[in-house]
Structure 1
Amino acid sequence: MSEVFFNGPAGRIEGKYIQSDNPRAPVALILHPHLPSDFFEGNMNHEVINCLYSILIKNGFSALKINFRGIGKSQGTFDNGVGELMDAATALDWLQLHNPSSLEYLAVGFSFGAWICMQLIMRRPEINNFIAISPPTNKFDFSFLSPCPIPGLIIQGEQDSIVPEESVLELVNRLSRQKNINIEYKLLSGADHFFRGKLNDLSNTVDEYIKISHHSTGKKNASKKHQNKLLL
């Protein structure tokens, strides 16, 4: 894993990146939480983000996680989602620059990061799939997803006291009515918003989805151990 920096709209953006030896490996961008309720845990080193980062690398992805503006060593200040979406778009540009042969792009977000992730997929057609974890549907407007252009997975904790399941299920039901787009929904039993004590369940759910949605890549990586190189 290597610490990386690149220029964003508000200045320097900090990230951690690992690149697969396979030049055609799928690519993932992972976006962290940033709600008032989890602000102090809202960075790229959150344990849920680390869990996602690890499982994506295990499945052969070139993976980048970033700190949004004003977090860690990233410059700027919190911008209520507007600037953070620009940060995510800049990170995707950076990934494309370093993975010119890849045709698979996965956007992954947790909590606030899920909201940014789902806005990003509406603006960037090169993204083929998404994973949204605990999307804060009761705190932010998700009406821009009309329609949702790509398939994806939405994961919710059964005991989430920050984002009620009913609110997330309403979004899932709306997206599921679309033709030719498959939106999977997983409710994790006993899990709260932060998946405390349930990270293994979260990891297994994401792992299973990746192996199905990126089946050709998943099978190839299952039969051969990928060594990863650091981008310095």
Structure 2
Amino acid sequence: MRRIDLNCDLGESYGAWQMGQDEAVLDAVSSANIACGFHAGDPGVMRRTVQLAAARGVVIGAHPSLPDLQGFGRREMALSADEARDLVLYQIGALWSFAKSAGVPLRHVKPHGALYNMAARDAALAAAIAAAVAEFDRGLILVGLAGSALLAAGRNAGLHVAAEAFCDRRYRADGSLTPRREAGSVIHDVDAAVAQGLSIALHGRAVAGDGSEVAISADTLCIHGDKPDAAEFARRLRAELERAGVAVAALGAAA
């Protein structure tokens, strides 16, 4: 039976500002990437999100970002390899403290937003992120865009890696994601996004923005928790995957 993980970016509220439908989404996914305070989240939100995930048996991962609360971590910025390593290590440690308090392990690390996209193409930045993960715990899984420099850096650092694909993002012909600033970069139609997720999980391919076919080998599919229909989409996607004979299982789970 085919297996795939469903991950979602969660814990992205901040103070009185509420983002997403975390509790409802957690009922449908197998892995949670929890914001660590640099693009979203605060200590209270981090604690609550860890507890919500743990209560549902959803595995927990750190979702480190560039230090950009105002821009939700989606604006690129220049930083040195040392800066990148340190900010990722800092954020992993912050989330780990809440996971330890809740009595659950930290399973993976997935960079967020601009940091994720920059590391997909920048080998030096990718190596710095992989170094931070390896310094913290070589047992952690590094999640990155399928076919990207981040996965190559993770392997070079001796880490387990997981190739990620996106149901609701339009791909370019080279397998990279269409930047959010471009029209059509996000697939808003739930049916179309579910269809893309199924195509990736079952056949290892998606249709790029130019109409060409892109080969994508994925271990995990991402659901964006900041979308207003995130819970509905998560439920629909999981149901359709299981109907097609694909088992949803968390990263690192025993076969």
The question of a shared fold, defined as TM-score above 0.5 by the shorter chain, is answered with no
Per the normalisation by structure 2, the TM-score is: 0.41
Per the normalisation by structure 1, the TM-score is: 0.44
